[in-house]
Amino acid sequence: MKDRPADAALRIAGRAIGAAIIVGALAASAFVYVELYRHPRTDDAYVRANVVGIAAHVGGPIVALPIVDNQSVREGDLLFVVDPRPYELELERARAELLVTDKEIEGYARSIEAAAALVREREADARYAADYLSRVEPLLERRFVTPDQVEDARTRKRAAEALAARSRHERDRAIAELADYEDGNARRRAALARVRDAELDVGYCYVRAPFDGYVTNLNIAVGQYANVGREVIALVDNRRWYVLANFKETYLEDIVPGDRAEVYLLAYPGTPFSGVVQGIGWALHQENGATVGVLPQVDPNLDWVRLAQRFPVRIALDPPDPARPYRMGATAIVTIRGGRERPPDAPAEAPETGPDLSVSSGARP
């Protein structure tokens, strides 16, 4: 029985449609494959930020806690207060010691002034005695004075010179004693250092936010003892946010620091965020290849399929929108778009001395 023309036409049309579907699927697969390598994409990515533990520089009970968990704080905002009373007393004691030292210095300075005045007086007496002797001695030959009067003048001259020498010695001793208490002296510097150290301790009682951020996991209360150097508060640094996106090593050739990245967060579906590739991780924890002695230990690998390793790519996010704040640990989907620019924190490149022969491109071929 012969096929009717209509059935033959249907078979031809079906085959044509099937072939078109296959060709379209292959073309779509090829396009997706090429596009994926031109613009690598991964959903193995998470939002990250620096988390800094805040610890007290001084120990003591917490007497004030003006913050609550998950609160946004600005740089310089008060986080908590350690009881400052013992440190304020120590500061008063240090200031009193410095005041006593300064008073001693003032006393020695006044002693020097008095000794210097006495030196001037005694030297004037010595000069007068010398002048008197020089006038009396010529009169002895003419018998206008007696030998006893001349000898008495000589004695007074020697006595005046001795008193002047003694006063100079006392003045020099006072100057030397003052030198032991001047600003450059170790005793006064030590007293001043104790004051400054006590002032620092009093200031350390008032713990403030070192940067803009968010209080997280607050588990302290007023009355709790804060130990020196022990973290009591965690702050999420709001100054810089980034995404750690894990890309297969087969895509790394097409990712270069400075490439623009498009980021979607599951917390804000449909809202794109932008970032810049800052760098690609250089090392992964290796289960194989551990060194034993001086020889590497490599376990036998019986896998038939070799899986590509994933390397973390750090993407610096643009400043957040206050209406859509970033949250550390949020799931992200990242696509590398190219269009390179200098990554954040990268050193500025030196200007070219010759003609620029490089070719700028959004993606590597």
Q: Do 223 and 155 fall within a single domain?
A: no
pLDDT computed for residue 343 by the predictor = 58
CA distance 199 to 272: 50
155-156-160-165 Cα dihedral, nearest 10 degrees = 0
**Would 324 be classed as within a structural domain?**
no
In this structure, the answer to whether residues 195 and 176 fall within a common structural domain is yes
How far is the CA of 88 from the CAs of 118, 177, 199, 283, in angstroms? Answer: 45, 32, 8, 51
Q: Are residues 135 and 214 in the same domain?
A: no
What are the Cα distances from residue 306, in Å, to 44, 245, 359? 19, 21, 35
* pLDDT at site 259: 93
Contact 79, 73 (CB under 8 A): yes
Which residue range(s) make up the domain with 71? 52-80+208-232
For residue 262, being part of any structural domain is answered with no
Residues 76 and 94 in one domain: no
Neighbours of 211 (CB within 10 A): 16
Is there a single domain that holds both residue 188 and residue 92?
A: yes
Q: Consecutive sets of 10 residues in the chain, 365 residues long: mean pLDDT of each?
A: 62 69 65 62 94 94 96 96 96 93 77 78 79 76 75 81 82 71 68 94 96 93 94 94 93 91 94 94 71 60 73 93 92 86 53 37 35
Examine the domain organization and report whether 123 and 190 are in the same domain: yes
Supply the pLDDT for residue 7.
65
Domain co-membership, 174 together with 94: yes
Whether residues 159 and 127 fall in one domain: yes
Is residue 225 a part of any domain in this protein? yes
Classified as helix, coil or strand, 209 is coil
Looking at residue 355, what is its pLDDT? Answer: 36
pLDDT number for residue 153: 77
347, two tokens: 């050193």
187 in Cβ contact with 181 (< 8 Å): yes
What CATH number does residue 221 fall under? Answer: 2.40.50.100
The domain tally of the chain equals: 2
The C-alpha atoms of residue 158 and residue 130 are separated, in whole angstroms, by 9
